[in-house]
């Protein structure tokens, strides 16, 4: 199902690049991709620049810091795009544990979503309130639509992509 695995690195000083290469991923430094356009470090830049090096028609992004990574993170986002032509973009969701000191609850994490993002969506984009994980870092989209929307720098990229794709293609495309 996967044609290529790419890690776009912003100059990390840990062993990210080494481990990714050993696992078979192609590794790129964001600063080396499209250097003529400059650099605004952050997640948005890395995602946008990954479009430049990736070749597929369907692009999947999975946050690299997922502790319980599983193939379902990929096929759960790619599957709907393969099955339904009208879909343009798919976001994953999952239970997020809440850690309280020494204790852990199986759900209740994602407080930024619940305290900030959901109320904002309810006021400005109520149609998007059905997305359980609007800030999820696991999503997939068709190349042609990803190349047609702006990428916010930093961590605003997740909500920015969701809103921009919604505005361009409507709820039916999500």
Residue range 161-174, pLDDT digits in tens: 999 999 999 999 99
- Confirm whether pTM is higher than 0.85: yes
Q: Which CATH class is domain 6-94+135-173?
A: alpha beta
Residue range 12-59, pLDDT digits in tens: 889 889 999 999 999 999 999 998 988 888 899 999 999 999 999 999
Residue range 11-22, pLDDT digits in tens: 888 988 999 999
Annotate the chain with DSSP letters as a single string: --S--EEEES--SSSHHHHHHHTT-EEEEGGGSSGGG----SHHHHHHHHHHH---SEEEE--TT-TT--THHHHHHHHHHHH-TT--EEE------EEETTEEESS---HHIIIIIHHHHHHH-GGGGG-S-TT-S-EEEEHHHHTTS---SGGGHHHHHHHHHHHHH-GGG-
pLDDT at position 97 is 66
pLDDT at position 57 is 96
């Amino acid at each position: 199902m996967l044609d290529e695995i790419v890690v776009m690195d912003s100059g990390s000083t840990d062993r990210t690049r080494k481990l990714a290469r050993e696992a078979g991923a192609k590794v790129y430094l964001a600063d080396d991709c499209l250097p003529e356009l400059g650099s605004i470090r952050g997640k948005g830049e890395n995602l946008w620049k990954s479009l430049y090096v990736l070749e597929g028609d369907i692009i999947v992004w999975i946050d690299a810091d997922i502790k319980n990574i599983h193939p379902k993170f990929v096929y759960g986002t790619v599957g709907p795009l393969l099955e339904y032509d009208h879909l343009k973009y798919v976001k994953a969701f999952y239970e997020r544990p809440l850690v309280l000191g020494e204790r852990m609850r199986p759900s209740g994490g994602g407080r930024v979503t619940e305290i900030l993002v959901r109320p904002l969506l309810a006021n400005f984009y109520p149609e998007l309130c059905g997305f359980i994980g609007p800030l999820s870092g696991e999503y997939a989209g068709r190349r042609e639509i990803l190349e047609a929307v702006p990428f916010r720098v930093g961590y605003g990229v997740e909500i920015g992509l969701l809103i921009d794709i919604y505005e361009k293609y409507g709820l039916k495309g999500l």
